[in-house]
Structures are given as structure tokens and as C-alpha cells.
């Protein structure tokens, strides 16, 4: 079943997003802009630090080789092609637009808030590792810590991007819940190397989200989401073929 950690995380995003939304009208536009720039820089830093952390872990374990680098590139390319074919980002935007049409909202940033927050809360290493720990070990500590972080950032995002942030809790529930439910199936292939590769790709995607928030470069992060799971698929196929 869906883990307790994911349920708590979902509730934290909803609460933070709603709280931020009600603070939205009391914040002058110039303050919202500087807050968004601060958030963008923070997301960039989190992405960079997460990527460097995983690289250091891999290097310290003498695991860095050509195969690892090629798998990272392969995952981003193949994952991007899959996401583009499935039009994941467009579908996320459509979901946001559909929800917006069903509820009264002010302004036109609902879809932006929904998509941006959904991606930030779902692609990080804590989302993946926490959901796996919850599913495999019943350990909710990582997701509880993530819940606190997500709740605080949801207040800030909600105040700048609107009520769409609160609805990103749906994405968190489905994404992390699915990983928790599937954890038992993929357990035989979830060694430290696989988790490190998944976390590394997650760090790269978080960095890309920062670029989007700072309006430096528009990247379809949603379409790159499948890249996170390519390492698992690679090792499953490798194991089944006996390589």
C-alpha cells in the first residue's frame, strides 16, 4: 500500500501551498520577483550540490568509469526521447489547466505553479530514496524530513506561483506512492550503484529546473523524467541477459 511517508509528504505540500496562496495577495510584486530569483538560485545550488555529492560518492568507491558516464548520457537521451514521445510535460500542463478550469483562481500562473512544484518535489534524490526506504524497510525518516522541507518551500512557492502549488501534492502522491509500491519488485536490482546513478540524474534535472525558474533557458524537465528510471531498466536487462 501507499507508505505513511508519502501521505505525510502529500499533506505537507497541500498545507504549505494553501498557506502560501493566502499570503500571496499581501506580497508586492517586486518582492515576489526577488523571492523567485532566490528560489531559482537555491534550486540551482541544490542541483549542483546533489550532483557533486553523488560524483564524490562514486569516485570514492572507485566506481567512476566510462560505462557509468555513458549510462548517464544514455539515460538522459533515451529518457528524453521517451518523455517527448509521451509528451509528459504537456500532459502535466494539461492537468494543471484542467484543474484550473474547475476551481476559481486569480491570475494565470496555476499551470506554472503546478508543473514547477510537481517537478521540484518529485525528481530529487530524497523522493526516490525515501520512497524506496518506505516501501522496502518501512523507514519513513527520509520522507518525513522531505515533508518539512517541501512544506516550507510550498509556502514560498504558493505565495509566488499560486494555488497550483498545493495541487502538486497529487503528483507527489502518485509518483512517490508508485515507487513505494514497486519497491519490492525492483529490490533485487537496487544496489548502491543504481541508486547513485538515479540520484545523479535527479540532481541534473533539479539543476535544470533552476535554469527554468531563472528564465535562463527553457528546458522540458517533465519530458526528461523517464531518465531517472533508465539505470534501473538497464541493470534489469543486464541481469536477465547475464552480462
Contact yes or no for 131/78 (Cβ under 8 A): no
How many angstroms separate the CA atoms of 155 and 21, rounded? 7
Give the contacts of 179 (CB within 8 A, at least 6 positions apart): 127, 128, 131, 132, 135
Q: How many CB atoms lie within 10 A of CB 174?
A: 15
pLDDT tens digits for range 38-83:
877 877 887 787 777 766 666 665 555 566 778 888 999 999 999 9
pLDDT tens digits for range 132-167:
878 877 778 888 888 988 888 898 888 888 888 999
- Of the two residues 170 and 189, the one the predictor is more confident about is 170
- Residue 243: its pLDDT value, please? 66
Domain spans, the chain: 4-241
Give the contacts of 24 (CB within 8 A, at least 6 positions apart): 158, 159, 160, 162
Is the pLDDT reported for residue 10 higher than 90?
Answer: yes
Is the pLDDT reported for residue 172 higher than 90?
Answer: yes
Count Cβ atoms within 10 A of the Cβ of residue 171 and give its class: 0-12 exposed, 13-18 middle, 19 or more buried: buried
Mean pLDDT is lowest, of 2-6, 19-23, 50-54, 115-119, for 50-54
Helices 230-241 and 66-86, axial angle in degrees (round to 10): 120
Amino acid at each position: 500500500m501507499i507508505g505513511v511517508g508519502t501521505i505525510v509528504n502529500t499533506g505537507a505540500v497541500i498545507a504549505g501551498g494553501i498557506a502560501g496562496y493566502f499570503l500571496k495577495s499581501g506580497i508586492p510584486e517586486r518582492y515576489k520577483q526577488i523571492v523567485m530569483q532566490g528560489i531559482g538560485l537555491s534550486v540551482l545550488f541544490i542541483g549542483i550540490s546533489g550532483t557533486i555529492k553523488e560524483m564524490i560518492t562514486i569516485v570514492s568507491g572507485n566506481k567512476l568509469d566510462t560505462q557509468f558516464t555513458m549510462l548517464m548520457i544514455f539515460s538522459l537521451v533515451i529518457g528524453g526521447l521517451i518523455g517527448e514521445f509521451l509528451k509528459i510535460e504537456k500532459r502535466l500542463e494539461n492537468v494543471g489547466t484542467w484543474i484550473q478550469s474547475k476551481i476559481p483562481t486569480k491570475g494565470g500562473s496555476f499551470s506554472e505553479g503546478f508543473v514547477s512544484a510537481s517537478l521540484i518535489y518529485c525528481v530529487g534524490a530524497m523522493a526516490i530514496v525515501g520512497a524506496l526506504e518506505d516501501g522496502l524497510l518501512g523507514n519513513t525518516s527520509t520522507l518525513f524530513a522531505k515533508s518539512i522541507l517541501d512544506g516550507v518551500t510550498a509556502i514560498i512557492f504558493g505565495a509566488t506561483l499560486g494555488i497550483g502549488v498545493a495541487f502538486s501534492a497529487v503528483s507527489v502522491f502518485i509518483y512517490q506512492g508508485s515507487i513505494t509500491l514497486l519497491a519490492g519488485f525492483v529490490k533485487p536490482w537496487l544496489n548502491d550503484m543504481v541508486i547513485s546513478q538515479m540520484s545523479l540524474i535527479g540532481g541534473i534535472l533539479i539543476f535544470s529546473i533552476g535554469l527554468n525558474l531563472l528564465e535562463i533557458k527553457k528546458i522540458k524537465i517533465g519530458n526528461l523524467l523517464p531518465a531517472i528510471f533508465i539505470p534501473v531498466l538497464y541493470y534489469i536487462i543486464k541481469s536477465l541477459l547475464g552480462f
